[in-house]
Amino acid sequence: MTLFIQIKKIVLAVTLGLTSMGLISSWADSAFGIEKEPAQSASSGSTVPVTHAASPSITVSNSAGAAVELRQLLSHFTTYQAHFAQITYSTNGRELQNSQGQVLIKRPGGFRWETQSPMHQVIITDGRILWIYDIDLAQATRQLFSTKVALNPAVLLSGSLSDISRVFTVKRVHVREGLQSYLLKPKQQQTFKTLVFSFDHGELVGMITENNLDQQSVFAFTKIKLNAPMKQQSFELIPPPDVDVVEEQQ
């Protein structure tokens, strides 16, 4: 099972229709049409921002040299840290879920995707072992991470960039004025139909995925740090004694 399937398995388990709370930067407000409106906090009655969005439109433009440009942009960092806000839409554009958290990437192989709301869950790999840790349920799944898995967003960002042209057709696209955006379509069937990376001044600030169920997920990345030192322990997990660990066979 690929890392991207594992991500989707956790994401789809989150209660549908819940909205995440917290501040999103000014770029995230405008990048893909995300807007804020006041909402009441269930715990304190105070007013906090809640994010809503419309699924973005994508226009394909000139594709000459797009794969080379994308590889160059992704090669600007060996470590990447950011907060993310994610909104997933159904095929008819209905918002299915809204979540947020933090992502850490350290090439080669290091990937940590921590969803902090509405549920606290972590996906961690050091390129050898893959952990899926549900903090709220005190459960963790451990399995070997195969280097033979198909390219997907997580593997692409944390691993080798050399196979982009071989595995994907890459085209420049227009998502929003001021962004450099690239559409990736797998040449063979993958766990997703399309993937869009968006860059602002060389930084990866947005991602859009469309899965094989025609559901679209929009990611906005903020508070970005490139090439900052990262401890290897961030990509390893020693489960607490009270956590139920399941060994999963591939």
What residue numbers bound the domain in which 96 lies? 3-228
- Looking at the whole model, is its pTM more than 0.75? no
> Is 196 inside any structural domain?
yes
Please give the backbone phi and psi of residue 16, each rounded to the nearest 5 degrees, phi first: -70, 145
> Is 197 inside any structural domain?
yes
Q: Which residues are within 8 A (CB) of 191 and not within 5 positions of it... i.e. 6 or more apart?
A: 2, 4, 5, 8, 150, 152, 211, 212
pLDDT in tens, 44-94: 443 333 333 445 556 665 566 898 899 999 999 999 999 999 999 999 989
pLDDT above 90 for 12: no
Mean pLDDT over residues 1-21, rounded? 32
Element of type H or E holding 166: helix 164-167
pLDDT above 50 for 8: no
> How far is CA 166 from each of CA 6, 163, 207, 212, rounded to the nearest angstrom?
24, 5, 21, 21
pLDDT above 50 for 38: no
> Is 175 inside any structural domain?
yes
Please tell me the least confidently modeled range out of 41-45, 95-99, 157-161.
41-45
Q: How far apart are CA 60 and CA 173, in angstroms?
A: 4
> Is 156 inside any structural domain?
yes
> Is 235 inside any structural domain?
no
Across the chain, mean pLDDT equals 77
Residue 210, token pair as written in the block: 């469309």
More confident residue, 250 or 18: 250
pLDDT in tens, 210-227: 988 889 999 999 999 999
> Is 184 inside any structural domain?
yes
Please give the backbone phi and psi of residue 234, each rounded to the nearest 5 degrees, phi first: -65, -20
Q: What CATH number does residue 112 fall under? A: 2.50.20.10
Please tell me the least confidently modeled range out of 24-28, 85-89, 116-120.
24-28
> Is 250 inside any structural domain?
no
User: What's the structural domain count of the chain?
Assistant: 1
